[in-house]
Structure 1
């Protein structure tokens, strides 16, 4: 197992080369605040990334989600970016099957977000159109999880200028939402507000500048969930690190991170991208079990074994 730890400001990002199931077994239980990851697509990009047949995907994933459950704090959240695959003209059910089996593991299927890819190019097949969205499924270990909704509030928008101009009587009733949404039917409470809570649809462009990975998501995607579910100095885990986007987003937001990547070329890419995009000062930190720190200069050939 290869390990390298990179420091950025007051954060540490630990990068591991290897299988996430094996590496996570050495991680303490209840030690991670947030898991954000995009596992290999089903039966796609064989030889480079993925290649798991839809019929085998659930069986392949469950040992991993078992370890995720163990290392995640009771107040933590797991965000899974995953999409279905069309097989023989219809969508395969492995995503729904996976949700069901993860619930049997003890996970709570708490929420589902939609990532709308704003810059997705048009396309079609004989019986369907191109997807311009992907799922981000939220799982938790308990109903009492950490969430900081104010961190992701959005501008109220131009519609409010006309919508709030002439309020009807029904716009002024029921002060409190019965479901805790924050406003309820009393639309008049929106007057003077500059920011409101978002919906569960995220309108974000795909990552066009990152050519080093075939399934990279934009930095803004993990950043949104990191702000929503963690605070500074919390620990974020990406067990399918890819080109390192989650680790980069975590450090830029003042969170510590753990990234695990199975393929050597993506592991090296993640390290390089992290150093370039966080502009670190050439320092690698490794923390021993005695909690003493050794600080050494980064070397392109250096690999620290944990």
Structure 2
């Protein structure tokens, strides 16, 4: 395990999230996108296990996240609607079911239109009713909370009127992030954590990303004057996150 706390308000942990010792009931908002189990070549995570094992692992980390969240803690969970690699699976429905089983309460779902329909290559039976594939060019952001949806303490909101009106509409449209540009096989765009953090947390709140990847959630949280804890199991991507955060946040250091 390695910790990195070179910038005030940012704590990075290079460890398996399930093994971390983050205090329970300490997190205001979780913003994350876990591995999708679609064969992405991570260095320290097998992204091609059986779907049954994937759901077992998902239940474990959702349970850990539940324990760490405050009673009014929330989670913005970016997951696919479904998947077709290795057989059709209702990923969104199955993960929401698991979350509710653990104790998470369901609030709503935001549909993220990434606009990547032109990239699709799997059609099933071409021009035939034999066995066509239906693929939705969207992802979901599931909004969950622990015990109470209404925040128990007053805080400072920094969301603008125009942002609030636009972002409370449950269909978000913005492009995904370039793998080549970031250097990570599955980065999500800055816009995603920025919107979630401004809409669902106060200035000064504690944000957690248990699958930090290239560090985007931490960068967004810091820029928005929140404290952030990022956990990344992979050493290579942990170092990438440090590099990106150092470059983009050092000049902004200090709330």
Same fold (TM over 0.5): yes
Q: Aligned match of 2:122 in 103, 125, 150?
A: 125
* Aligned residue number for residue 204 of structure 1: 174
State yes or no: 1:113 paired with 2:110. Answer: yes
Instruction: Quote how far apart the aligned CAs of 1:149 are.
Output: 8.6
- Render the CA deviation track for 1:188-235: whole Å, top value 9, x for unaligned: xxxxxxx66631111111113633111101011001010011111111
Tell me the alpha carbon deviations over residues 120-144 of structure 1, each in whole angstroms, 9 at most, x when there is no partner.
Answer: 5343422236542101111111243
Corresponding residue for residue 292 of structure 1:
none
Whole-Å separation in 2 of the counterparts to 1:104 and 1:143: 17
TM, length-normalised to structure 1: 0.70
More strand by share: 1
- The question of 1:231 aligning with 2:202 is answered yes
Cα distance, 1:124–1:47 mapped onto 2, change above 3 Å: closer
Counterparts of 1:1-306 in structure 2, within 5 Å, are: 1-7=1-7, 11-23=8-20, 26-48=21-43, 50-83=47-80, 84-87=82-85, 91-118=88-115, 121-126=118-123, 127-128=132-133, 131-146=136-151, 151=159, 153-154=161-162, 198-208=168-178, 210-280=181-251
Greater CA deviation, 268-277 or 208-217?
A: 208-217
Structure 2: gaps spanning 5 or more residues = 124-131
Paired with 1:124 and 1:149, the residues of 2 have a C-alpha distance of 43
For the Cα contact (< 8 Å) 1:74–1:145, is it kept in 2?
no
- SS, match of residue 109 in structure 1: strand
- The Cα RMSD (Å) is 2.7
Alignment deviations for residues 55-102 of structure 1 (CA, whole Å, 9 cap, x no partner): 22110111111111111111111111111211566x303432222122
Secondary structure of 1:121's counterpart equals: helix
SS in 2 for 1:112: strand
The number of equivalent residue pairs is 239
Q: Of Structure 1 and Structure 2, which has the larger fraction of its residues in helix?
A: 2
Shift of 1:21: 0.9
TM-score, structure 2 normalization: 0.84
In the alignment, the residues of structure 2 paired with residue 68 and residue 14 of structure 1 have an alpha-carbon distance, to the nearest angstrom, of: 17
Q: Which runs of 4+ in 1 moved over 6 A?
A: 147-150
What CA distance in whole angstroms lies between the structure 2 residues aligned with 1:257 and 1:276? 17
Higher-Rg member (1/2): 1
CA contact (8 A) 2:33 2:79 kept: yes
Cα offset, 1:155, TM superposition: 7.2
Which runs of 5 or more residues in structure 1 are unaligned?
157-194, 284-306
